[in-house]
Amino acid sequence: MKESTLQTLITARTLLEQAERHCALGDRYMATAGLIVLQDAVELVFLATLREKNVDEVQAVEKLDFDAMIATLGKTGIKVPKSGTLKAMNKLRVAAKHYGQVMEPITVQGHLNTAKFAVDSILTSAVGKPLREIFLTELVPEGQQRDLLEHAAACLIKREFFDCLVATRKAFFLEFELDYCIYQFKDQPNDGKPRFGLMGMFFGGRKAPYWTKNAEWISKNVETPFDFVQLDYEAWRVNALEWGINTQTLSNIRRLTPEVVRLEKDAEWLLRHRASYIANNANQENAAMCLDMTIEVIRRKREHIKAARTVGTDKPYDMPTAYIGQSLFERPDTGSRQLRLLGGDDNYAVHEVLDGFQLGKVFYQISTTNSKQEKAWGYIERRNETALEEDSPAVEEVSEAQLSIQLE
């Protein structure tokens, strides 16, 4: 489904839900307003379907009137059921909106039922699912966050609003708050030494304030499991600006959804909310708003990440010749500290080619592992192979040794 189609259908679904609420009240004036909203929702579904079928590439679909849209959909092979009743609904909408006529609730309710049936039939044919099953979750890449958001959407449809809000906050936690969860540092001494090294990137807490990442601070300040989430508000704000997200939107999601935390991967989710939360906030309006906001902020963050570009490394690299006994330097400078001499059984990989500190000298940055499985990173000088072949027989000896080379 095209993103433009999805966005239009979400608007149509919102209007349809509003029309349902108006029509359910039994009031003539609310029912009349509901009829106007209902017709707009159906027209947006027609527009989205025509765009999904690429009709907008050959004609200006936005200039088509209601009846012409029905005819154009038929030409694309999509049957519009109860088209006569829909056209009658459109005429009633004209009478209500442009002439101020008031409609009877029972009449509007009949048109609502017809419109829902027709819309679901059209969309099932065009995109494979009815309108009530279309959510912005399709804009979120597959993964645990999307699974949780789809579960939240399913709960919303079933009117399980509290469960919807909980699932929404779980997705938000994994996407945004996990980076500030310092649980993994509960046994970390306050000695300034990192405990996890590069592996720490795969755990939570990497963005939390540095002074919170030790056992002493945690023992004094963490009173409940939810206190393990310690935001660095400056980093939180800067990240939001970078991702194109309003920081107030993030704050609203945190305020309007129940608090959740998961301290370890695959551990049980923990939940906290005010005693009055369910009675005051577990409703359709709040659940739908929080779900839509969470989907949007996750989408914006992922779009930003997806925009990053890196240099290619998939093409084979023409490896330089290495020589037994060649020095591995700490820096691209033959005067720097010598780390080791390359041996005949070494495995190595070349990562960079660069000019060194000495004018005219070129170096390779390599990682190497010797027969004792000792690893090292450093620089070897690129030599003039022709000159070496003339001056030193060591080149022939090295080719016979056949150093094991591992390409990146």
Q: Is the pTM of this model over 0.75?
A: no
Is the domain of 177 the same as that of 119? no
Rounded (10°) CA dihedral 274, 278, 283, 289: 30
CATH assignment at residue 99: 1.20.120
Q: What is the pLDDT of residue 193?
A: 59
Q: What is the pLDDT of residue 199?
A: 46
The SS3 call for residue 143 is coil
Residue 321 lies in a domain: no
Q: What is the pLDDT of residue 322?
A: 57
Residue 312 lies in a domain: no
Is the domain of 288 the same as that of 335? no
Q: What is the pLDDT of residue 333?
A: 92
**DSSP label at residue 392:** -
Is the domain of 203 the same as that of 290? yes
Residue 150 lies in a domain: yes
Place of tokens 């996750």: 298
Q: What is the DSSP string of 280-309?
A: HH-SHHHHHHHHHHHHHHHHHHHHHHHT--
Is the domain of 154 the same as that of 301? yes
Token digits for 69? 């849209």
Domain that holds residue 15: 3-134
Q: Of the candidates 22, 6, 9, 13, which has an alpha carbon nearest to the alpha carbon of residue 288?
A: 13
Terminal C-alpha separation, the chain: 38
Print pLDDT tens along the chain (408 aa): 888 888 899 899 889 988 988 888 889 999 999 999 999 999 999 999 999 999 988 889 888 999 999 999 999 999 999 999 999 999 999 999 999 999 999 999 999 999 999 999 999 999 888 887 777 777 788 889 999 999 999 999 899 999 999 999 999 999 999 999 999 999 888 765 555 554 444 467 889 999 999 999 999 999 999 999 999 999 999 999 999 999 999 999 999 999 999 999 889 999 999 999 999 999 999 998 999 899 989 988 988 888 877 776 666 555 555 567 788 999 999 999 999 888 877 787 888 889 999 888 999 898 888 888 888 899 998 876 543 343 444 434 433 334 444 434
Spatial distance between the Cα atoms of 170 and 271, rounded to a whole number of angstroms = 10
Is the domain of 246 the same as that of 119? no
Residue 255 lies in a domain: yes
Is the domain of 38 the same as that of 129? yes
Spatial distance between the Cα atoms of 291 and 150, rounded to a whole number of angstroms = 10
Spatial distance between the Cα atoms of 76 and 317, rounded to a whole number of angstroms = 52
Is the domain of 172 the same as that of 254? yes
Residue 295 lies in a domain: yes
**Are β-strands 347-355 and 404-405 bridged in parallel, bridged antiparallel, or unpaired?**
parallel
Residue 393 lies in a domain: yes
Beta bridge partners, 340, equal 328
Residue 237 lies in a domain: yes
Is the domain of 23 the same as that of 43? yes
Is the domain of 151 the same as that of 294? yes
Q: How far is CA 61 from CA 9, 53, 78, 303, 381, in A?
A: 16, 11, 16, 29, 66
Q: What is the pLDDT of residue 317?
A: 59
Q: What is the pLDDT of residue 112?
A: 93
Is the domain of 181 the same as that of 207? yes
Residue 248 lies in a domain: yes
Q: Where are the beta strands (DSSP E) in 180-267?
A: 259-261
Is the domain of 110 the same as that of 153? no
Spatial distance between the Cα atoms of 52 and 55, rounded to a whole number of angstroms = 8
Tell me whether residue 17 is exposed, middle or buried, using C-beta atoms within 10 angstroms of its C-beta: 0 to 12, 13 to 18, 19 or more: middle
Is the domain of 126 the same as that of 238? no
- Split into its structural domains, the chain has a count of 3
